[in-house]
Chains A and B, each alone.
Chain A
Amino acid sequence: MFRPMFLSILLLVISTQADASKLVLKSRPEGAEIFIQASGKPVKIGVTPFEGDLTEIIKTYVQASSFMFELKKEGHLPYRVLLAKTSQVDLELSANLELDPRVENVRAHDALMNKLFSIQKLVRGRSFAEAIEELSALEKKHENLSIIPEMKATAYYMNKDIENALSYYRRAFAVNPDNQDAYRMKIYIEKKLGVDSEVP
């Protein structure tokens, strides 16, 4: 009884031995181009999500002892992974592609603009305290932008808090001496209050 069973096990295993190794490549976001590079130029093999035969890919493209997968998508940094040439392994790789810093920068600016527009709406709606609070929070994150102290000064001015308004117009002008609007309002309030012009 023992011998036939052992032979059956052996046959079962050997009969499935010819199956290929599986390669699964995913990326977030999807749609990244997949390149394989072993020696010489990288070769594009597909787009994520990708499923293929790893044995066949290695046989076709890899002669060296190691190879590299590279995932490329516009607006994202290229992702690379170096692997040893191997067989009889199923490989599943999932990569979170990092945003290109330039694109990230544009997105951050876009978010800031949207925030400033929503604060402008608060000022127009005469919700000065709320607008000033939000501008103060933004000011901590963006110390080098003159538009934020300028908008804060405008909110104080419309709220008839002239002294604070002058203080923030002066700060806006100090941060950016090219800010003509801040400069004009600073001079106007200084004349109105009869104070000396403060040179930053």
Chain B
Amino acid sequence: MFSTSELKKSDEVSILIGMANVSLTENALTLTGPNQKVAASAKISGINGLLHYRFKNFEKISLFGQFSFPLMASEGTYLAGGAGAEYYFGETSSKMTLNDSITSLVMTPTMRYFAYSALNLAYVSYNTLTAKKNDTVFEIELGGGISRKFSKFSLRAQAGFARGVGVVSTTTAMKGMLGGIFFLD
């Protein structure tokens, strides 16, 4: 006999792909120089990849690191990396395993719903009418998602909203991602 405290919770790596739409507005007060008198706004829209690593798992909460990178961008570039926490609403938040000389037990959640928040540091490169510019942005992201286990693989889908403040601009980002989960037993 054993208790659930002996069960080991699996770390997870997810690779996702989806859309990232970033709206950016320059802050007029921060503009300097002879050619930069008018605050511009810009949009970055493209297909981004997301590498997501869940490295610490508690009963309902997991901590993660993430890195979002552009795969195909029509205008500009959005690159972001950060860390955050996920809260799971169901009974089982992680894949759990127990292995000893007598028992091998694996419990894999089939359906999970979660909400997350993260702090990111993002790099944005955007085009205005007159110039190509870039900025570094500190971003707060909120979102939610769902993960689903199928017979041979597990999928993760998530959507999030991020608000960022940079050196010369403020950003608003909408992200929607879908990808596979790899359990690190």
Q: How far is the CA of A89 from the CA of B110 in the complex (A)?
A: 5
From A16, A19, A82, A88, B109 is in contact (CB under 8 Å) with A88
From B101, B107, B176, A90 is in contact (CB under 8 Å) with B107
Q: Using Cβ atoms and an 8 Å threshold, which residues of chain B touch A106? A: none
Q: Using Cβ atoms and an 8 Å threshold, which residues of chain A touch B102? A: 79, 95-96, 98
Q: Map CB proximity to B onto A137-179 as digits: 1 under 8 Å, 0 otherwise.
A: 0000000000000000000000000000000000000000000
Confirm or deny: B83 has a beta carbon within 8 angstroms of a beta carbon on chain A: no
Confirm or deny: A113 has a beta carbon within 8 angstroms of a beta carbon on chain B: no
Q: Map CB proximity to A onto B91-126 as digits: 1 under 8 Å, 0 otherwise.
A: 110000000011111111111100000000000000
Determine whether the beta carbon of A81 is less than 8 Å from that of B103: yes
Determine whether the beta carbon of A93 is less than 8 Å from that of B104: yes
Give chain A nearest CB distance to B48 CB in angstroms: 12
Determine whether the beta carbon of B1 is less than 8 Å from that of A2: no
Confirm or deny: A80 has a beta carbon within 8 angstroms of a beta carbon on chain B: yes
Interface residue range, chain B: 20 to 34
Closest residue on chain B to residue A93 by CB atoms: B105
From B1, B4, B103, B149, A84 is in contact (CB under 8 Å) with B4
Q: How far is the CA of A22 from the CA of B25 in the complex (A)?
A: 50
Determine whether the beta carbon of A86 is less than 8 Å from that of B92: yes
Give residues of chain B (8-24) contacting chain A, Cβ–Cβ below 8 Å.
18-19, 21
Q: Using Cβ atoms and an 8 Å threshold, which residues of chain A touch B107? A: 86, 89-92
Given A5-B18, A80-B1, A82-B1: A21 and B159 interface contact (C-beta under 8 Å): no
Q: Which A residues form the contact surface with B (CB < 8 A)? A: 1-2, 5-6, 9-10, 12-13, 16-17, 19, 21-22, 79-82, 84, 86-96, 98
Q: Which B residues form the contact surface with A (CB < 8 A)? A: 1-2, 4, 18-19, 21, 45, 90-92, 101-112, 146, 148-151, 155, 157, 159, 174, 176, 178
* 9 A–B contacts, CB within 8 A, in A order: A13-B155, A81-B1, A82-B1, A89-B109, A89-B110, A90-B106, A90-B149, A91-B105, A94-B104
